Structure 1
Amino acid sequence: MPRVVTGLARLARDGDRRLAGKRVGLITNPTGVTAELRTAVDVCRELPGVRLTALFACEHGLNGERQAGVRFEDGVHPALGIPVYSLYGPRKAPDAATLADVDAVLFDMQDLGLRFYTYGSTLVYVMRACAEHGVPLFVLDRPNPLGGLRVEGGLLRPGFESMVGAWPMPVKTGMTIGETALMANDALGIGCDVRVVPMEGWPRAMEFPETGLPWMLPSPNIPTIETARAYAGTCFFEGTNVSEGRGTTRPFEWIGAPWFDGRKVADAMNALRLPGVRFHPVYATPTFSKHAGELCGGVRLFVTEPAAYEAVRTGLTLLHTVARLHPDAFAWLPPFRDGMRPFIDLLAGGEDVRLSVAEEAGLHRVLEAWARDADIWTERRKPFLLY
């Protein structure tokens, strides 16, 4: 039996009288399941007195079938015949037309508790839309898979908002998606009628493997909890010419490039004795994304002690080490389009990483500033914690 009862499981077990007689729109993906693998779609469809009239799909699609960054259009659910509205195409949030047959919106997806994971940004956009159109939003809470204690990383700076960071939050929030909704609603003055259906049995120190819940891929390149732990720090490599492991069997746990000296990088990182992590040189040939079809040197990251591991510190230190050991080859990716910021600035929430992290003194300045930001967030979040 699972130790944790999610918001979806509570809804399936107890129902919710606030939904009686309502037409419901559901935002979900393959992670929206109970411990018995009943989908959120089926739970909502079978609620007495409730009519499921619309589905909304964010990045990766309703069925988790699309790779990162792939936009898609609206569709129709093949079995239910109801619309599936894309929130990762021309629109980022529901509009008046897509909410015409909806009295309440339900949100049930497994977030990672990380700023650059786009589900949290979608949540903010949805809250704004629901506030504008007077539609209540029910957030079916789920565990933060990395636990709810550790906060890491700097606060996003004004002017750097994007799909990988919608508001001033740190990289690693230490909050559930329900708690995040409550805090964002207050901090941004959104005015959404947010109703969190809380979990049962989740203490803040609990990581996902202890919950007893099934791990469903929250996105195609986060296949395991080990990936999620690494991603919290190595996602920064998405903004560089180093492969973050997409197209390998160890995305985000392995990074590399054709010019990458895995032995030197692993030795340099291991010499620092960062807590809870070790590095080992590994060759790989990505099948898609960066350096597809090219043999790449690289390193694989092994988290040996999850409770001690500092993902963001590790990721920034790894960035510094790769840049220092490969000064002529390492590079930041240019903006995707003219007028956009470099992607590393969006991931980092500001310019400091791009401008400073290659130098040792700059690395330490960023780490110290981000540690102060994490302390600020830890205090700010307290009124919104549910567990």
Structure 2
Amino acid sequence: MMQIKFIHLKNTVLLFVLILISCGNFSSVEGGHNNEDIASSQAPRNDNSIIVGANQTEKYLPLLKGKRVGVVGNQTSVIFKENATSSKSLSVDRQASEDNYTHLVDSLVALNINVIKVFSPEHGFRGAADAGELVENDKDTKTGLPIISLYRKNKKATQAALENLDIMIFDFQDVGVRFYTYISTLHYMMESCAEANIPLLILDRPNPNGHYVDGPTLEIENKSFLGMHTIPLVHGLTIGEFAQMLNGEKWLENEAQCNITIIPVKNYTHDTFYHVPIRPSPNLPSDQAIKLYPSLGLFEGTNINAGRGTEFQFQRYGAPFLDKNVFNFTYTPKENFGAKNPKHKDVLCYGEDLSNDTLHGQVSLKWLMKAYNNATDKSKVFNTANFTKHAGTAKLQQQIEAGLSEKDIKATWQKDLEAFKKIRKNYLLYP
């Protein structure tokens, strides 16, 4: 396991500047987000003592001085200002971005850190692209920096793209689910940095689903960008911890080792509730959506809509071929922010509203099984190849179609889950 490097700032003048930035009093640093990037859910309830890696500027700015810097990030790569996660509700209707945080890249540029280029994952650098939408190389309109896409055509940064860089920063708000592709982006960037002998600085953030491990474990023959490793659907690791696992388990190509430095989250444990104040991606608008995502995300491998094209993404599901005598909740998906072409666009769907449903520390199959069992035409439910990629195994679809109970299906996961939990312990940074 890689040893974490803790850096102490000795230059008191620089420290004073950093304190001003962290408190939001450095006037030349501004937020750079659309209001839609802010979560529209319940009032934030996370412990204000949690300090994310990006906010601990005194630990990593000395590593960047005089270096040519690359940044892998998106709209969640921010430095929070004082009281940014207070008890006041953050809403998509409230112009709050400049009041609550500054983007990491904007802050570094304002501090005269030599940021040369940024690398953009799925959904784009500022987070406005649909899931699966082509993200092209571009230029950031605010800073003028070149943006290199790490999605669709070039998931792995080329050695040419890393030329003239001395250090790379990786900073994302992840949600701890295998098919959420930011950990695949991490894998490829670690490979590229290892090949180029460029150190990778990881600014860690809490995992809002980090308090449990559950779901089917990926079988390596089903490896894809939606899942590259033999891990459960919910892995219970932060980005920093996952990076340590990639090195420690020698999962990078040719068993390469990436030189990583992690700035850990302060005052965080895996049992700490963490409200995510910025949408990790366009279709995860709230804490409820993030909590239900491991379960409802499986609908992405079916022909059933999981709330895309509404304001309650991953908090409802439905399709026109679900039995209206069983499902009395209806909605019609429309084109909206983050969903230009949702499943069953402009078609009435029958399903369930789960926006107030409670689910704690587990992957639930009950909604997927209910939908399948009450489809008027069961042949329309599964998009088999895509579902296998999301589940990580062909067995889950087979088990559902065979009529196994949820309890019996989950029993088949346990051996692999216990084996993974033993491996996971070796890489934990937080209790």
- Superposition TM-score tier, normalisation by shorter sequence: 0.7 to 0.9
Structure 2 Cα separation of the partners of residues 32 and 262 of structure 1: 43
1:251-283, CA deviations, whole angstroms, 9 ceiling, x for partnerless residues? 111100112236636xxxxxxxxxxxxxxx421
Match of 1:367 among 402, 410, 418: 410
Residues paired across the two proteins, number: 355
Match of 1:61 among 121, 124, 139: 124
Normalised by the length of structure 1, the TM-score is: 0.86
1:278 is aligned to: none
1:3-57, CA deviations, whole angstroms, 9 ceiling, x for partnerless residues? 211110002x444433332111001111111222011112322456x31001000
Structure 1 Cα separation of the partners of residues 215 and 426 of structure 2: 20
2:352 is the counterpart of 1:299: yes
2:108 is aligned to: 44
2:85 is aligned to: none
Coordinate RMSD, CA, aligned = 2.0
Alignment-mate amino acid for residue 225 of structure 1: D
1:27 is aligned to: 72
User: Cα 1:331–1:364, aligned 2, differ >3 Å: closer, same or farther?
Assistant: farther
Q: Any residues of structure 2 matched to 1:74-93 within 5 Å, and which?
A: 74-93=137-156
Structure 2 Cα separation of the partners of residues 305 and 332 of structure 1: 25
1:220 is aligned to: 282
Give 1:368 shift: 1.1
Identity of aligned residues (%): 32
1:348 is aligned to: 391
Alignment-mate amino acid for residue 322 of structure 1: A
Contact between 2:322 and 2:376, CA under 8 Å: does it hold in 1? no
Structure 1 Cα separation of the partners of residues 356 and 422 of structure 2: 28
1:288-337, CA deviations, whole angstroms, 9 ceiling, x for partnerless residues? 4111111111101256545x352x2x2x23222222222624534547xx
Alignment-mate amino acid for residue 130 of structure 1: C
Give 1:64 shift: 0.7
Structure 2 Cα separation of the partners of residues 349 and 59 of structure 1: 20
Contact between 1:242 and 1:330, CA under 8 Å: does it hold in 2? no
**Structure 1: gaps (5+ residues):** 266-280, 336-341
Alignment-mate amino acid for residue 76 of structure 2: T
2:170 is aligned to: 107
**Structure 2: gaps (5+ residues):** 1-46, 82-100, 335-340
Give 1:285 shift: 0.2
Structure 2 Cα separation of the partners of residues 222 and 88 of structure 1: 19
User: Cα 1:320–1:203, aligned 2, differ >3 Å: closer, same or farther?
Assistant: same
1:146-195, CA deviations, whole angstroms, 9 ceiling, x for partnerless residues? 2x321011221112111111211111111111101111122113311111
Match of 1:325 among 355, 369, 374: 374
Q: Runs of 4+ in structure 1 displaced over 6 angstroms?
A: none
Contact between 1:67 and 1:220, CA under 8 Å: does it hold in 2? yes
Alignment-mate amino acid for residue 384 of structure 1: Y
1:230-265, CA deviations, whole angstroms, 9 ceiling, x for partnerless residues? 111011111111111110121111100112236636
User: Cα 1:320–1:305, aligned 2, differ >3 Å: closer, same or farther?
Assistant: closer
Contact between 1:352 and 1:366, CA under 8 Å: does it hold in 2? no
1:268 is aligned to: none
Q: Secondary structure at the match of 1:30?
A: coil
1:339 is aligned to: none
2:168 is the counterpart of 1:121: no
2:260 is aligned to: 194
User: Cα 1:79–1:101, aligned 2, differ >3 Å: closer, same or farther?
Assistant: farther
1:73 is aligned to: 136
1:4 is aligned to: 50
Q: Secondary structure at the match of 2:278?
A: coil
Contact between 2:106 and 2:143, CA under 8 Å: does it hold in 1? no
Contact between 2:72 and 2:171, CA under 8 Å: does it hold in 1? yes
Structure 1 Cα separation of the partners of residues 164 and 258 of structure 2: 19
Contact between 2:211 and 2:361, CA under 8 Å: does it hold in 1? no
Q: Secondary structure at the match of 2:344?
A: coil
Give 1:61 shift: 0.4
Farther off after superposition, 92-101 or 106-115: 92-101
